[in-house]
């Protein structure tokens, strides 16, 4: 039953897109509509992939920046390890 509903919805969506596109009731027109729908889906998938890759690259860049940052480390050499003052404090990690 569910498969039938999904199938009918797919056919209805295809016919709606075909009519909206101004297609005629010929096999060649149906093929053009199908090609157009697949090309649109492919381009949207490529856009989503590019956005995901960009977000991953930004996250990697942020991780690299944080790992290379010396913020919070003892840069003076006067820290006391074990007492919360130095960069080698094992109690704070």
Q: What is the pLDDT of residues 36-79, one digit of tens each?
A: 999 999 999 999 999 999 999 888 887 766 655 555 555 565 65
Name the domain count of the chain. 1
Instruction: For residue 23, tell me if it sits in a domain.
Output: no
Instruction: For residue 93, tell me if it sits in a domain.
Output: no
Q: Confidence band (pLDDT; 50, 70, 90) for 25?
A: confident
C-alpha span between 43 and 76 (Å, rounded): 54
The pair of structure tokens assigned to 66 is: 């944080």
Q: 10 Å Cβ neighbour count for 19?
A: 11
Instruction: For residue 52, tell me if it sits in a domain.
Output: yes
Instruction: For residue 55, tell me if it sits in a domain.
Output: yes
Q: Which domain holds residue 48?
A: 44-68
Q: Kindly report whether the global pTM for this prediction surpasses the value 0.85.
A: no
Length of the chain counted residue by residue: 93
CA distances from 52 to 3, 60, 64, 80 (A): 32, 12, 18, 44
- Min mean pLDDT across 6-20, 51-65, 79-93 is at 79-93
């Amino acid at each position: 039953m569910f498969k039938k509903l999904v199938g009918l919805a797919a056919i209805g969506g295809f016919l709606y897109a075909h009519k909206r596109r101004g297609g005629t009731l010929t096999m060649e027109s149906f093929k053009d509509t199908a090609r157009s729908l697949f090309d649109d889906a492919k381009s949207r998938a490529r856009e989503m992939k590019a956005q995901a890759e960009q977000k991953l690259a930004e996250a990697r860049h942020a991780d690299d920046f944080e790992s290379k940052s010396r913020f919070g480390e003892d840069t003076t050499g006067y820290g006391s390890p074990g007492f919360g003052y130095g960069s080698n404090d094992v109690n704070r990690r």
